[in-house]
Structure 1
Amino acid sequence: MFEDQSCVISRPLTKSCEKESGWVYMTYKLLDISNGKQQEASSRHDEQGGDSAKKRRKSLKASDQGGDGRDSDTTSLIHPIGWDNSINCLLRCSRSDYGAIASLNKGFRSLIRGGELYKLRRLNKIVEHWIYFSCNVLEWEAYDPYRGRWMTLPRMPPNECFMCSDKESLAVGTELLVFGKEVTSHIVLRYSILTNSWSAGVKMNSPRCLFGSASLAEKAILAGGTDAHGTILDSAELYNSETQTWVTLPNMNRPRKMCSGVFMDEKFYVIGGMASNTEVLTCGEEYDLDKGVWKIIPNMSSGLNGASGAPPLVAVVNNELYAATYADMMLRKYDKKNKSWITLGSLPERPVSMNGWGLAFRACGEQLIVIGGPRATGGGMIELNAWIPKDGPPEWNMIASKHCGSFVYNCAVMGC
């Protein structure tokens, strides 16, 4: 509809400190559109779209006149272009700007804090991926690779037992979930980007730790792990962040802990792990969400983890599965046809780990990200290295660094 599509953000900004934000530029362009141009565009839509275009225009007209009951202050948002076009433009703003936009009036604030914009972004397949990680107990940092911005999250609520226990993290929808233990039970803490605050999360039907997990839009699957008594589980659950509910799924074929999970080709995979304190599993399992069944995949995690090491470091970009093998610091790609792993090249040299612990390997949109700290004395530095998979060996670029500790305890990527 707009002549130069100035409101669409489809790439990272070239500078992290541009004086004029994308939102200000977009607003300037939109307010420059005259009512005459808007009417002309609507007429063209009527000619091309028939009844649907007329209904859209009627809806906009009703919105502009407050016919739907909205306050006059919030009816049009960006008044010259109407409610629907305002929403369409807000969807394409960087979510880095949503905090500032929410302060404009109660209409913007309600849209953003209520989560409606994020639901519409998901329906329109508009996604920005931010990286969340913790290098200090109870403290989390976030990095926006599109704007090159660092953000510090509010400190997690203090809990002595929780601080000392193993923790898993998962980003799903607009939430960051952190799973841990109290004295005799498991707890879940939930951070919401809508309120920028922590609260108690909803417990699983079968609470667990040391599980494999992955998210897809507003849903996530957690599989395996151990219960409060240390029993290794074969059960799995699905979480819906919009309803904040857990649904028990069919059991896997094998109980496993210290495993990893990914979504690929619209199916969930649990990879590797331990069947006991000494038995390393080399098989993976595939869960078909439509059929509700698990299938064993032999040798899917062969060589990816050891008995004393971290769970397999795996990530999916463009429905291709990659693994960072911490034993030899190499990057591998899974050959789906031959069900085998192909070595692509080396991981970044500087980040170090202890048998995989302290190192994070994630997919961030179209990039693979390695997060870790170099071996150094005094203080601590974390580095984010990225590579967009293509033909040839990986060429890692350090996209960000920060003084905040050099050991990554937990890490998650939120796409919304």
Structure 2
Amino acid sequence: MEDLIPGLTDDVARECLARVPFNAFPTLFSVCKLWRQELRDPTFHRFRKSTGIAQPVVVVVQSMPDIAESARPGPVVYRLVIFEPATGVWSSLPPSPDLPFGLPLFCRLAAVGTELVVVGGWEPRNWATTDKVHVYDFLTGEWRRGSPLPDPLRSFFACAAMPGSDKGCRVVYVAGGHDENKNALRSAFAYDVTGDSWKPLPDMARDRDECCAVILRGKFLVLSGYSTEAQGMFSRSAEAFDVTAGSWGPVEEAVLEKEAWPVTCVAGEDGRMYQCTGREVIVQLEGGVWATVAELPGEMKLALNAVAWEGKLMVMGLGRSGDSLVANILDIKATTPMPTPASASWRKVEVPLEYRGRLLDPADDDVSHTWIGAAPQEGNKGDEMCSDVSFPQTTASSFDPTHPASIMSTKPAKRLTPSHALTPL
């Protein structure tokens, strides 16, 4: 039997391979068939996680920053950026060859295993709704096209990924949004990333446009949104899809504490749901009661997204001095819940100028915004393909060319619905 590394036992060779950082996985993958098989084996990634080698990585979808101010600003284009909490290093992922104008506006991100799935959105050149699916593989460093999202064409839908398993079941769920005529939808679908196939799910009980979703205690929980007749009137209700039973549970009317937008909800490792609302971070306790965990950092004007992993909560949003990206990390293990939220200790994340990308204030009608998509790659319980990359559930981005002048003068939908993805690599 051929050795992983000639002259070494497989255990020692595996130790050596496991110590290679995730951004060098494509190099390892290209060496030989044995190494490719090793990298594809969930056991290898569980080993990296168990030894503490694997670290969470946050994937951010943001616009290319306007570092040089100009009298005639160009079109806003989007890219995928990764942040490594352990080192504070920021870097960007390679763009998809199929997306020369950057990632679609308002697309959704979901992370499963060692892959990142980009679903739907608006074409950057003409703002036409797209059903395209693009999948980035962190092992190969390459993009591939996935099967398109089934009809009807939809925008502003909820999206979340169910962690994988040893059986290779890795699924992305999509629900709600609105069709081309701005009619709110209640239909839902599940995308099998391994099999590259979609299947319809039972409809939700209610139409939900601009809804969001989290995977909470093994269920696909769709939150908030509004019906066609109630444009912009976000509800506090939610309904959960039980993956095992294959059905939706009853609508819960007052899951969220407030009717608010953006709905920045995230599932913690402790099985609780956290939300940024107003100037506070809150957590849902037993019985559906919400308690304050912390006040947002003073430098943050508006929280647009959050991602949780391994007892940490990273909040990203708009800074008070300009609309650039600011981010802070809170140790939720040490602060849940806090009798004096103002005393919560936040760790400021230093964001280099080239990774600040302009963010859109929801009250603005401009297109210069950034969506944040993140994912705690290693910290997701239940996902067996654990390595270095994590994603929170959100949407996002890319970079490059030019919108026609006629389109540049047209205003897109007023609201920007953040989306994110959580996954381990």
Question: Structure 1 pair 334/81, CA: closer, same or farther in 2 (3 Å)?
Answer: same
Question: Structure 1 pair 192/387, CA: closer, same or farther in 2 (3 Å)?
Answer: same
For 1:244 and 1:85, the matched residues in 2 are separated by: 35
Look up the match of 1:283. Answer: 237
SS in 1 for 2:94: coil
**Bigger Rg over Cα:** 1
SS in 1 for 2:132: strand
- TM-superposed deviation, 1:322: 0.5
Question: Which structure's relative contact order is higher, taking Cα pairs within 8 Å and 6+ residues apart?
Answer: 2
1:298 to 245, 253, 256: 253
Confirm whether residue 375 of structure 1 aligns to residue 301 of structure 2: no
TM-score between the two structures when normalised by the length of structure 2: 0.68
- TM-superposed deviation, 1:219: 2.2
2:212 to 260, 279, 296: 260
For 2:330 and 2:23, the matched residues in 1 are separated by: 20
Look up the match of 2:10. Answer: 83
SS in 2 for 1:370: strand
Question: Structure 1 pair 410/287, CA: closer, same or farther in 2 (3 Å)?
Answer: same
Matches within 5 A, 1:136-215: 136=63, 137-157=77-97, 165-178=105-118, 179-182=120-123, 183=128, 185-206=130-151, 207-215=153-161
Q: Deviations over 1:56-85 (max 9, x none)?
A: xxxxxxxxxx3xxxxxxxx21234443355
Question: Structure 1 pair 278/138, CA: closer, same or farther in 2 (3 Å)?
Answer: closer
For 2:349 and 2:194, the matched residues in 1 are separated by: 32
Considering fraction of residues, name the structure with more helix.
1
For 2:34 and 2:84, the matched residues in 1 are separated by: 22
- TM-superposed deviation, 1:265: 1.6
- Alpha carbons 2:28, 2:36 under 8 Å: kept: no
For 2:131 and 2:27, the matched residues in 1 are separated by: 37
2:331 to 387, 393, 404: 387
For 1:222 and 1:92, the matched residues in 2 are separated by: 35
Look up the match of 1:398. Answer: 348
Matches within 5 A, 1:286-365: 286-295=240-249, 296-305=251-260, 309-325=261-277, 328-335=278-285, 337-353=286-302, 359-365=304-310
Question: Structure 1 pair 291/164, CA: closer, same or farther in 2 (3 Å)?
Answer: closer
- TM-superposed deviation, 1:157: 4.9
- Alpha carbons 1:315, 1:368 under 8 Å: kept: no
- Alpha carbons 2:184, 2:208 under 8 Å: kept: yes
SS in 2 for 1:135: strand
For 2:295 and 2:37, the matched residues in 1 are separated by: 45
Structure 2: gaps (5+ residues): 64-76, 164-169, 360-369, 376-389, 391-423
For 2:171 and 2:104, the matched residues in 1 are separated by: 28
TM-score between the two structures when normalised by the length of structure 1: 0.69
Confirm whether residue 110 of structure 1 aligns to residue 36 of structure 2: yes
- Alpha carbons 1:334, 1:342 under 8 Å: kept: yes
Look up the match of 2:185. Answer: 233
Q: State the Cα RMSD in Å.
A: 3.1
- TM-superposed deviation, 1:291: 1.1
SS in 1 for 2:239: strand
- TM-superposed deviation, 1:172: 2.2
SS in 1 for 2:91: strand
1:249 to 190, 201, 219: 201
- TM-superposed deviation, 1:347: 1.6
- Alpha carbons 1:272, 1:280 under 8 Å: kept: yes
Instruction: Output the amino acid matched with 1:269.
Output: L
- Alpha carbons 2:280, 2:296 under 8 Å: kept: yes
For 1:159 and 1:92, the matched residues in 2 are separated by: 33
Q: Deviations over 1:192-239 (max 9, x none)?
A: 212323343321223432112222323222221123332211122222
Equivalent pairs counted in the alignment come to 329
Instruction: Output the amino acid matched with 2:372.
Output: N
Instruction: Output the amino acid matched with 1:180.
Output: G
- Alpha carbons 1:322, 1:333 under 8 Å: kept: yes
Look up the match of 1:48. Answer: none
- TM-superposed deviation, 1:111: 3.7
Question: Structure 1 pair 83/271, CA: closer, same or farther in 2 (3 Å)?
Answer: same
